[in-house]
Chain A
């Protein structure tokens, strides 16, 4: 994924990466696949995960005032500029600055950095 705001992924049991993205309903197109259930205000599921969108489904969701949905893949280029990894690391260091003398906290921090780096690599 190329940014941490607009896109995401999860790995399935075989370790494959499933990319998904939250998009505005206005940007939804027939053929896109819903990655997470779409719910109304009352928590009732309107469209289940895995459903392929049709023109009719999109119109129905619009009529129900749904603003955004999460779809599979990364159909929309968000254009949100990516924070440099170095800056993300520096912010992490700052958050953990009061526990910087703790060896376990430092190890945890390094593993969080590793995860952030892997995310970037998978997205590029």
Chain B
């Protein structure tokens, strides 16, 4: 396992440097590890980067995030959403900022998946919808890296998808011998993301393999499937990946209750300002 990981790391490192987090996110990461750090100290640091905090606030206040208009500053965001969520949002915003406009479809797909994951999580008792939302937003961060840092292989992957009619994930295995799950997993580890975010990123195509965050991974797996099914955004290929039936059961969905879920999901998608939010990010 570790040998395999090392191989992946070497392979990626040998090509180009990987995305680094903005200075503020790095500082925040370090401080958050200490129990002595207070929410107000953290918010002071985050707020120093006005562009960054503005984008995070836009995201939490949008219809996407479920606190429409209620969060006016970073310190309230930390109180309401928890520090892990805010930290992850900073990371999401930073990662997606690196994306070329050409893959805006992936940003839309990620927002859609975040919405679906939140809708599914809200129906469950022991599940934090905001955390699931971030897990959905981040699940494909590995694809961002593939498209930017491994651009030659990215073209090969796209060609393989067309020629062999297989999904992105399968094409990655053929071309790269590793997948966006592996890359995402490594990034999530190096950024010290909590296990409930790390595992959905690492196992959303093989949800039963998640060692700890089984429910969270199952929900993101199903949310990914549904977002592809309704055709919102783009995940790099034209098809839905296979749906793991055990994960569907774990997510608490049944075909009987699905009507309510799809109704709510389509409602939310229609007012989502995905494009304008993306433009906000890249400006």
Residue ranges of A at the interface with B (Cβ–Cβ < 8 Å): 4, 7-11, 20, 22, 36-37, 39, 41-45, 48-49, 67-68, 70, 91-92, 94-99, 102, 104-105, 107-109, 111-112, 114-116, 118-119
Contacts and interface: CB of A to CB of B under 8 A. Distances in A.
B189 to A, nearest CB: 30
Interface stretch (B20-28, B111-119, B224-232): B224-232
Contacts of A48: 69
From B54, B56, B259, B271, name the one whose CB has the most chain A CB atoms within 10 angstroms: B271
B59 interface: yes
Nearest to A37: B69
A43 B243 contact: no
A51 B268 CA distance: 21
Interface stretch (B30-38, B192-200, B203-211, B234-242): B234-242
Contacts, number: 107
B67 to A, nearest CB: 10
Nearest to A47: B69
Interface range, B side = 35 or more
Contacts of B258: 108, 111
B255 A111 contact: yes
A39 B64 CA distance: 13
Nearest to A68: B276
Contacts of B280: 41
B61 A45 contact: yes
Contact of A104 (B60, B62, B243, B266): B243
B86 to A, nearest CB: 13
Contact of B240 (A4, A7, A99): A99
A43 B245 CA distance: 39
Contacts of B243: 99, 102, 104-105, 108
A100 to B, nearest CB: 10
Nearest to A39: B61
- 8 shortest A-B CB distances, which residue pairs? A43-B57, A8-B270, A37-B69, A45-B69, A43-B58, A42-B54, A10-B267, A98-B239
A44 B266 CA distance: 26
B72 interface: yes
Question: Chain A's interface: helix, strand, loop or mixed, by majority?
Answer: mixed
Given A36-B271, A94-B238, 13 more contacts: A10-B271, A36-B68, A43-B55, A43-B57, A45-B61, A45-B72, A95-B231, A95-B239, A95-B240, A102-B242, A104-B248, A105-B240, A111-B259
20 contacts: A8-B271, A9-B267, A36-B63, A41-B54, A43-B58, A43-B61, A49-B69, A94-B238, A95-B228, A95-B238, A95-B240, A98-B167, A99-B239, A99-B242, A105-B240, A108-B243, A108-B258, A111-B258, A112-B229, A114-B259
A19 to B, nearest CB: 11
Contacts of B248: 104
A48 B270 CA distance: 19
A108 B267 contact: no
B148 to A, nearest CB: 25
Contacts of A70: 271
